[in-house]
Amino acid sequence: ATTTTATGATPTATVTEAVTETFAELYGAGPDGVWAAPGRVNLIGEYTDFNDGFVMPLALPHTAVAAVARRDDGVLRLHSADVDGGVVQLRVDELAPLSDGGWAAYPAGVVWALREAGHRVPGADLHLTSSVPTGAGLSSSAALEVVTALALDDLYALGLSRPELARIAQRAENDFVGVPCGIMDQTASACAVEGHVLHLDCRSLSIRQVPFDLAAHGLSLLVVDTRVKHALGDGAYAARRAGCEEGARVLGVSHLRDVPYADLDEALGRLEDETVRRYVRHIVSDDHRVVRIARLLTEGDVRAVGPLLTEGHASLREDLRVSCDELDLVVESAVAAGALGARMTGGGFGGSAIVLVESSAADEVTRSVEAAFAARGFAPPRVFPAVPSRGAHRVA
């Protein structure tokens, strides 16, 4: 793992030097450049992506940093400072979906997706390291994909836009790695602007940068990584997806995004299945919360966002039922200690929660959450500030 600066997603000179040096040791010559891409956290809009709805992620100061060099002999060499097992060597013309279960599938999948899209990528040497915690719901995988995509775009002058790079990265994860994720993570990593959240429409893929300059308002957004991952996650995701599709079918719309919030009660009255009704209520109300939060942030009323986060958590806990004891405890203890609002973020069943708090109260709220975890016999959570940081960029 590496360190990043506290205020933005630019890796420190030390990290850049370290990846450059290790690259040269591994491959015998220096890289052609060094690139960085951040992890992300979602402020609001959960499970809405596959319902064609809205999400609102921000980029973290934590980044994947990759040193990369061109090569034109069809060879792809991949190495991570954070994984044992040495250099993975592949041939670009032999890359095949689902062929590799290891970490290298993420960067290799990007090379595959670029070539599938008709771009000329005749090989590469890559060495990376990342400060994005893995498996905490903070999208360490998207950071890996996007940093690879940006580096190759630069090195081979492919001329792809940021949203196009995000779609290539998503294709790598969906089809090569085999994870059915939406477009949010890669878009956040590729397109984020410092001091902003992205208002992303998962149907049109249109992006609006909404001001979210927490420091200017004396506020902090804490990420609380519970460090737990409960087993039922995968099946539960598929069940939520199927339930939402069923709800859309009964309501006669292509996606739940098409149910206006003003018509929610009437729509709920037409749903007989209690589970489907709960899912629909979550999706339609969370889409509405994204829109309300976008409006509040645009008006500069950042503190008013807090209660909507807590409301969103209740919806995820009671209607979608994807929370867990640890996540509920973060929200409960943070709000009790004076936080403006809090909610689980990401898929749930573990992973991370976010807490909006006056900066002056951040330490006290952190201590209260830690104390609540200790009192329940839970392992200590990892807490850090989510400074809204810049998206992928070249660093050297």
* Binding site residues, Mg ion, CB under 5 A: 141
Question: How would you list the strands of the sheet with 75-80, edge to edge?
Answer: 88-91, 75-80, 124-130, 57-70, 33-42, 393-394
Q: How far is CA 377 from the centre of its chain?
A: 29
Known catalytic membership, residue 100: no
Q: Which of 185, 225, 286, 287 is catalytic?
A: 185
Query: Based on CB atoms, which residue is closest to ligand ADP, 145 or 194?
Result: 145
Provide the 3-class DSSP secondary structure of residue 14: helix
Q: Which stretch binds ligand ADP (CB under 6 A): 77-85, 92-100, 240-248, 273-281?
A: 77-85
User: 173: annotated binding-site residue?
Assistant: yes
Kindly write out the interface string for residues 121-160 of this chain, putting x where it contacts ligand ADP by CB under 6 A and - elsewhere. --------xx---xx-xxxxx--x----------------
Q: Can you tell me which of 80, 170, 220, 315 binds ligand ADP, judged by CB under 6 A?
A: 80
Q: Which two tokens stand for residue 224?
A: 């609380």
- The answer to whether 279 is annotated as binding is no
Q: Tell me whether residue 125 or residue 145 sits nearer to Mg ion (CB atom).
A: 145
Q: How many CA atoms lie within 13 A of 74 on its CB side?
A: 4
Whether 130 has a binding-site annotation, put simply, is no
* Residues 174/105, Cβ–Cβ less than 8 Å: no
Nearest residue to 317 (alpha-carbon basis) of 336, 331, 303, 305:
331
Q: Which of 24, 26, 75, 83 binds ligand ADP (CB under 6 A)?
A: 83
Query: Does 245 show up as a binding residue in the annotation?
Result: no
Residue type, 395: V
The beta-strand segments (E) located in the chain are 33-42, 54-55, 57-70, 75-80, 88-91, 124-130, 196-201, 207-211, 219-229, 341-345, 350-358, 382-385, 393-394
- Nearest CB to ligand ADP, comparing residues 138 and 207: 138
Minimum distance, C-beta of residue 251 to Mg ion, in the bound complex (Å)? 31
Query: What token pair was written down for 96?
Result: 């095949």
198 versus 256: smaller Cβ distance to Mg ion: 198
Tokens of 379: 């392992």
Which listed option, Mg ion, ligand ADP, none, makes contact with residue 106 (CB within 5 to 8 Å by class)?
A: ligand ADP
Binding residue numbers for Mg(2+):
141, 173
List residues binding ligand ADP (CB under 6 A).
80, 82-83, 103, 106, 129-130, 134-135, 137-141, 144
> Which amino acids are annotated catalytic?
185
Annotated binding site for ATP: 80, 135-141
